[in-house]
Amino acid sequence: MTDTPADDPKPSYRSDVTVELVKHTASDADVLFAARVSTLGEQSLDELKKDPERSKGLINYLMRDRHGSPFEHNSMTFLISAPIFVFREFMRHRVGWSYNEESGRYRELQPVFYVPDESRKLVQEGRPGKYVFVEGTQAQQELVGRVMEDSYRQAYEAYQEMLAAGVAREVARAVLPVGLYSSMYATCNARSLMHFLGLRTQHELAKVPSFPQREIEMVGEKMEAEWARLMPLTYAAFNANGRVAP
């Protein structure tokens, strides 16, 4: 089947990412339940609320001593909208994650592209593994905006030209850049999310610092905020123990 391109869609440009928590069954009680079942069996649910301090202490102990499996009995599904280059990094996280991304074979891709805003540091200084990012000049910022938009426009016109000539979407999409926005569902549990956050965010409490690309970190920060609300004790224990996944 050939494609019918939309009526001359105009490219639009974004500098943000969005993260929506669409579904969850995740609470600190899930961790306690899983941990206590080994010693208390079926009574463990009744025990949960009896002694909050003990519950907090148990979660902290599990985190500190890296007893990881009790942190797996929960689930969070996020709908994420971000440039394709973010998803390329994201999908390297294989364990405890499920992904479904919109298809460039089955639907015409919309012309929404990433252009960094002025808060995005543009210039890398220092050697690999030991570098920092600093603000760009006004001229560099203008250059990045102009060159990216020109390049995106040209690429999308080429895509449209091929679709109009009857070329399949899966072939024509080869000209589209990694700055194109995509969307995906990503489902994880607290343990896999902690591993992700340890690698994909920078944080003053991190025992093992990481240096992620800013755009995936923006996604990570939004997921972290949702998770912190759902599992406050687990989140506090993660921070208190150097943000190392158990």
Ligand X SMILES: Cc1cc2nc3c(=O)[nH]c(=O)nc-3n(C[C@H](O)[C@H](O)[C@H](O)COP(=O)(O)OP(=O)(O)OC[C@H]3O[C@@H](n4cnc5c(N)ncnc54)[C@H](O)[C@@H]3O)c2cc1C
Nearest distance from residue 213's CB to ligand X, in Å? 7
- Residue 195 assigned ligand-binding role: yes
- Residue 102 assigned ligand-binding role: yes
Q: Which of 14, 66, 88, 200 is catalytic?
A: 200
Q: Which is nearer to ligand X, 173 or 195 (CB)?
A: 195
Q: Which is nearer to ligand X, 36 or 200 (CB)?
A: 200
Q: Which residue is nearest to ligand X (CB)?
A: 94
- Residue 214 assigned ligand-binding role: no
Q: Which is nearer to ligand X, 23 or 92 (CB)?
A: 92
| Amino acid in the structure at residue 243 | R
- Residue 44 assigned ligand-binding role: no
- Interface residues toward ligand X, by CB under 6 A: 92-95, 195, 199-200, 210-212
Nearest distance from residue 237's CB to ligand X, in Å? 20
36 is a catalytic site residue: no
Rounded CA gap, 192 and 227, in Å? 12
Q: Which is nearer to ligand X, 81 or 192 (CB)?
A: 192
Nearest distance from residue 216's CB to ligand X, in Å? 8
Q: For residue 220, how far is the Cα from the chain centroid?
A: 5
Please state the residue numbers annotated as binding site: 69, 89-94, 101-105, 173, 189-191, 195, 200
What residues act catalytically? 200
What residues form the annotated binding site for dUMP? 89-92, 101-105, 173, 200
